[in-house]
Structure 1
Amino acid sequence: MARWQPDARGRLEAAAFELFRERGFEQTTVADIAGRAGLDKRTFYRLFGDKREALFSGSAHLEEVLAKTVAETDAGPFEVVIAAFRRVAEEIFADRLELVRARQAIIESSPELQERELRKTGSLVAAVTAALRAKGLDESTATLATESGATVFRVAYARWVAPGGDVPLTDLIAEVATELRAITSASG
């Protein structure tokens, strides 16, 4: 086997995804993933901390897009967060519905992956809150805006990945944000 092969990270991510779909997360080993990618376990561990990370390696890019959009958007705090999640939907999730559905099915099949997904979401929320704080917002306002926007994203995302849906994620985010605005402004 060659010492260096191009795109080892991408090949390992693809191999992990295929094997998780075929065998399930728990039944797939790092050796299986490395073997499918034509690499060794040492290469895998040089690039990923564990097999979960092969499924979650795009988190840093999500955080970058969110933080950059927050910094560049001039609007009220909640609207800034919604704009950031819509940009993520446009740049990262557009035209990938079937792939995202398959990934979500893998996550839902494993409590370990569900826990990792919650940690990833927490990290995204922290990044957005920090970006709002960097714009001069106080902690309470930044937290409320971010948590509200993240809830909008989670609800829209769940609708998007549900079987039979084909409405673009960006549209669902706008729709759910409108629903939240109506709920919070309703007198009662």
Structure 2
Amino acid sequence: MGRWQGGAGERLKEAALGLFASKGYDGTTVAEIAAAAGLTERTFFRHFSDKKEVLFVDQAEFERTFLDALPERSDDPMWLISAVLDTAAGLFPEERREWSRARQRVIDANVALRERELLKLSALAVALTGALTGRGIDPISAALAAESGVTVFRTAFTVWVTPDEERGFAEIQQTVLSRLQTLLD
């Protein structure tokens, strides 16, 4: 097992996803993931705190992408959120779709992982609310805009990973946002 081989984190993610798909999340051990990646358990734990983090490891980067995309000036909270969503769509290029579909199947099959996914999105809404209030948006408008933005993102992602969907993430997300705006008119 190569201690210094490059790409260990990605190899572990790919091995874990394959094992989760074939054996189930609960039926897969860290030792099996490491072995399938040609690495040691010790290497696994250098990259991930536990096996669920293989699916959620990029949480800080994910949240930072949304927050960094928030424009500095505007008093329109939904315009700000729309700008954030446009930037965040870049997290989901076409080449990531199959991995995202496989990841979502694993999450959908496990209650604890679904809860973790919802916590991730809830934390994002809280962070966006704080960022909006920090830019002078009143707390209620900030919370409504942030929660709406997360709902648009989550709905777009759900559509994007459906088996027969071919549209790009940005297009889907814009359609979902337009639908929300139509509902509010």
The TM-score normalised by the length of structure 1 is 0.88
Structure 2: distance between partners of 1:56 and 1:44: 14
The equivalent residue for 2:167 is: 167
Q: For the structure 1 residues 178 and 130, does the alpha-carbon distance in structure 2 shift closer, same or farther, using more than 3 Å as the test?
A: same
User: Match for 2:34: what amino acid?
Assistant: A
* Residues 20, 106 of structure 1: 8 Å contact kept: yes
For structure 2, the residue ranges without an aligned partner over 5 or more in a row are: none
Residue 100, structure 1, aligned to residue 100, structure 2: yes
Q: For the structure 1 residues 71 and 83, does the alpha-carbon distance in structure 2 shift closer, same or farther, using more than 3 Å as the test?
A: closer
The equivalent residue for 2:121 is: 121
The equivalent residue for 2:35 is: 35
The TM-score normalised by the length of structure 2 is 0.89
Q: For the structure 1 residues 82 and 100, does the alpha-carbon distance in structure 2 shift closer, same or farther, using more than 3 Å as the test?
A: same
Q: For the structure 1 residues 25 and 73, does the alpha-carbon distance in structure 2 shift closer, same or farther, using more than 3 Å as the test?
A: farther
Q: For the structure 1 residues 180 and 37, does the alpha-carbon distance in structure 2 shift closer, same or farther, using more than 3 Å as the test?
A: same
User: Match for 1:184: what amino acid?
Assistant: L
Residue 112, structure 1, aligned to residue 78, structure 2: no
Runs of 4+ in 1 over 3 A off after TM superposition: 1-5, 71-75
Q: What SS class does the counterpart of residue 25 from structure 1 fall into?
A: coil
* Residues 77, 132 of structure 2: 8 Å contact kept: yes
Q: For the structure 1 residues 79 and 36, does the alpha-carbon distance in structure 2 shift closer, same or farther, using more than 3 Å as the test?
A: same
Shift, 1:15, TM fit: 1.5
Shift, 1:161, TM fit: 1.8
The number of aligned residues is 184
Shift, 1:72, TM fit: 4.8
- Superposition RMSD in Å: 1.8
1:141-160 aligned at under 5 Å gives the runs: 141-160=141-160
1:1-150 aligned at under 5 Å gives the runs: 1-72=1-72, 74=74, 76-89=76-89, 91-95=90-94, 96-150=96-150
Identity %: 40
Shift, 1:62, TM fit: 1.3
Q: Deviation string for 1:130-177 (max 9, x for gaps)?
A: 221222223212111000111112222222222322122211211121
Q: Deviation string for 1:55-96 (max 9, x for gaps)?
A: 11122211111001114574721122122122222x211212
Shift, 1:2, TM fit: 4.6
User: Match for 1:30: what amino acid?
Assistant: V
Q: What SS class does the counterpart of residue 70 from structure 2 fall into?
A: helix
For structure 1, the residue ranges without an aligned partner over 5 or more in a row are: none
